[in-house]
Amino acid sequence: MRILAAGDHFVAPELLTRELTAAIGTGHTIDELLLPWPLTPFGPVREVDEASGDEETVITALHGVRICVTQMAPVTRKVLDSAPDLRLVVVGRGGPVNVNLDAAKERGVQVCNTPGRNAAATAEYTVGLMLTAMRRIPETSAALTAGRWAGEFYTYDNCGPGLDGARVGLIGCGAVGSRVARALTALGAEVGLYDPYADPDTLSRSGTPVADLDDLLRRSDVVSLHARLTAETRGLLGARELALLPDGAVVVNCARGALLDEDALCDALESGRLAAAGLDVFAVEPPPPGSRLRTAPRLVMTPHLAGANTSVAHNAARMAAAEVSRFLRGEALAHRVV
């Protein structure tokens, strides 16, 4: 069996190969391909999203390959048309957005993913970004690095709010949102949850369910996004929604940039209605040079790092290898999407 380990600079090809070998032994040929992400940002490739590399390179690497394990390789209709031997694509991430699922189904190619592989990492980062923005850590660190003891940040007007006793609204209560809820509860926050698709029992265990998004926003000192990006959720928080937040609220987004209207966020920060915001994701990545985000006050930005730690890379590789092992044994895949 010929297998392609199409890794990148996060989940490296050699890591995929190592976990595959541990799971299925040495009786298979494993070819390796290194894709440029994250040193080069991902983006759309033809009809698929959040992909890395080009079709021709992937087509060449897939010659004679029956199983492809990857995070970011663009598995487009053209790629699938050019890979007649391919029977399984394992995507080492929560959503297989880099695969044309319709084309795969038409060709009898099974596709599976690795949901939850970075849920803990993203939850940790969300709470960290929340605290970083609320407690004004970047400004105070920059001042001290520059040689200035910024005592003004200890004044009531400048020190920023905390999480103990804060009303935090989470939009989405899946693998990440539910973990964020538990962490915030441990820190003393009052957690409200809006997720029309979640199991009611899950919501009740994680915090206080709120049936209406507008109600959640009106009662939240901090709001954090944890929804998937769909046609329905695109632009979920716009000017109208941000205006419902109490004065001095904080907005955090570690999910997908297009969930949030960035111009509306900048307006709210510049007017002083919002106390702070933290963004790890953006509608366009990286934000273009003229983006208002680059000059917005009290905004902490990081380059899509929430799901990135060493444990996540190992989780993705192990989960992907386990799916390959199931496929080779003729068992049902644990996370098949096509």
Q: To the nearest whole number, what is the mean pLDDT of the chain?
A: 96
23-80 pLDDT, tens digit each: 999 999 999 999 999 999 899 999 999 999 999 999 999 999 999 999 999 999 999 9
Q: In terms of domains, do 131 and 261 share one?
A: yes
**Which of these, 52, 50, 90, 58, lies nearest to 77 by C-alpha position?**
58
Q: In terms of domains, do 59 and 96 share one?
A: yes
Decide if 338 is inside a domain: no
304 is catalytic: yes
**203 backbone dihedrals φ, ψ, rounded to 5°:** -60, -45
Decide if 184 is inside a domain: yes
Q: In terms of domains, do 108 and 201 share one?
A: no
The total of structural domains in the chain comes to 2
Please answer whether residues 62 and 86 qualify as being in contact, where contact means their C-beta atoms are separated by less than 8 angstroms: yes
Decide if 31 is inside a domain: yes
Q: In terms of domains, do 151 and 202 share one?
A: yes
Decide if 335 is inside a domain: no
Decide if 333 is inside a domain: no
- Overall average pLDDT of the 102-119 stretch: 96
Q: In terms of domains, do 158 and 87 share one?
A: no
Decide if 250 is inside a domain: yes
Say what the pLDDT of residue 255 is: 97
Decide if 221 is inside a domain: yes
Q: CA-to-CA distance for 40 and 52, rounded, in angstroms?
A: 8
Q: In terms of domains, do 63 and 165 share one?
A: no
What is the percent of the chain with per-residue pLDDT over 70, rounded to a whole number?
100
Q: In terms of domains, do 27 and 105 share one?
A: yes
Instruction: Give Cβ neighbours of residue 163 (< 8 Å, ≥ 6 apart).
Output: 130, 131, 134, 184, 187, 188, 189, 222
147-186 pLDDT, tens digit each: 999 999 999 988 889 999 999 999 999 999 999 999 999 9
Say what the pLDDT of residue 23 is: 98
Which member of 179, 226, 298, 304 is catalytic?
304
Domain that holds residue 260: 119-301
Please answer whether residues 113 and 86 qualify as being in contact, where contact means their C-beta atoms are separated by less than 8 angstroms: no
Say what the pLDDT of residue 315 is: 96
Which member of 93, 117, 136, 256 is catalytic?
256
- Overall average pLDDT of the 3-27 stretch: 97
pLDDT band at 321 (very low <50, low <70, confident <90, very high): very high
Q: CA-to-CA distance for 4 and 73, rounded, in angstroms?
A: 11
Q: In terms of domains, do 71 and 158 share one?
A: no
Q: DSSP 3-state assignment of 169?
A: strand
253-289 pLDDT, tens digit each: 999 999 999 999 999 999 999 999 999 999 999 999 9
Q: CA-to-CA distance for 28 and 20, rounded, in angstroms?
A: 10
Q: In terms of domains, do 111 and 173 share one?
A: no
Say what the pLDDT of residue 157 is: 87
Decide if 207 is inside a domain: yes
pLDDT band at 94 (very low <50, low <70, confident <90, very high): confident
Q: In terms of domains, do 184 and 313 share one?
A: no
285 is catalytic: yes
308-319 pLDDT, tens digit each: 999 999 999 999
Helix (H) or strand (E) holding 328: helix 310-328
Q: Which long-range contacts (CB under 8 A, 24 or more apart) does 333-336 make?
A: 333/110, 333/112, 334/112, 335/112, 335/113, 335/114, 335/115, 336/110, 336/111, 336/112
**Which of these, 162, 161, 179, lies nearest to 170 by C-alpha position?**
179
Question: Residue 202 pLDDT > 90, yes or no?
Answer: no
Instruction: Count other C-beta atoms under 10 Å from residue 151's C-beta.
Output: 9
Q: CA-to-CA distance for 248 and 7, rounded, in angstroms?
A: 43
226 is catalytic: no
Q: Is 51 exposed, middle or buried (0-12, 13-18, 19+ CB in 10 A)?
A: buried
Which member of 285, 292, 314, 336 is catalytic?
285
Say what the pLDDT of residue 118 is: 95
Q: In terms of domains, do 161 and 278 share one?
A: yes
Q: DSSP 3-state assignment of 75?
A: strand
pTM of whole model > 0.75?
yes
Task: Using only the alpha carbons of the chain, give its radius of gyration.
Answer: 22
Q: In terms of domains, do 104 and 194 share one?
A: no
CATH number for the domain including 59?
3.40.50.720
